[in-house]
Amino acid sequence: MSMTIEQSGNKESLGRKIGIMGGTFDPIHFGHLVTAEAALASFDLDQVVFVPSGKPPHKKDYHVTDAEARYLMTIMAVATNAHFRVSRMEIDRKGYSYAIDTVKGFKELYGQDTELFFITGADAILEILTWKKVERLLGLCQFIAATRPGFDLQALDQVLTKLPALRGRLHFLEVPALAISSSDIRRRVSEGRPIKYLLPETVEHYIYKTGLYQDRNETGEER
């Protein structure tokens, strides 16, 4: 059964390869889980830690579901995978959640011998130049960029030109399940359409039981 970082401790992971998968997980779905499993296998990771964001700076203009609800859904989703963990690092941190602070936190938690891989979508990499202290971040971790089949990698050429330090630190991972999106799931719930087989049943049941997303418009904002 999956455990939280607080339960698992840090000694067991010293000198290992750890994947960090951040996101709002609003809600978490099979696209996230398939990406994490693919990264685990493709890059020989020992663990993937899911880090639900607390106060994401890139979503200042959007309503984001309460952090505790998103954390609980993430726990439910990864509970049966022994290689997955969930961290409260960002939701317990005051202020906005920045990748640099999270990666530094994991370096402190697991030790400098641990190799960190930050797992994110290729679309997010297109905006990496706007990230806080990005050059410092590149010195602390490598990046795994999940792409959909047919994603135009040439779109990243401009980013690599402006941020040459990213070369050699960026790895691509094609994941067909990325066609699933949290925004589409929220929209489906608000419109009364099915979400079965898009996310774990435990998360689906939690959404219906608590009434999440039923009073949202298609952008995810409160009606």
Q: Is the model's pTM score more than 0.85?
A: yes
Check: CB of residue 57 under 8 Å from CB of residue 133: no
Burial of 154 (0-12, 13-18, 19+ CB in 10 A): exposed
pLDDT category of residue 18 using cuts at 50, 70 and 90: very high
- Domains of the chain and CATH, by start: 3-181 (3.40.50.620)
Quick one: average pLDDT of 30-34? 97
In the predicted structure, residue 6 carries a pLDDT above the cut 80: no
Furthest-apart CA atoms within the chain: distance in Å: 49
- What pLDDT digit, counting tens, does each position of 34-82 carry? 999 999 999 999 999 999 998 777 666 678 999 999 999 999 999 999 9
pLDDT value of position 92: 96
How confident is the model over 94-110, as pLDDT tens digits? 888 899 999 999 999 99
Q: Distance between CA atoms of 150 and 25, rounded to whole angstroms?
A: 24
CA separation for the pair 55, 201 (Å, rounded): 27
Q: How confident is the model at residue 223 (pLDDT cuts 50, 70, 90)?
A: very low
Give the model confidence (pLDDT) of 108-150 as tens digits.
999 999 999 999 999 999 999 999 999 999 999 999 999 988 8
Q: What are phi and psi of 62, to 5 degrees?
A: -120, 150
Instruction: Kindly state the DSSP code that residue 25 receives in the 8-state scheme.
Output: -
Per-residue pLDDT averaged across 153-172, rounded? 93
- Residue closest to 26 by CA, chosen among 59, 1, 3, 49: 59
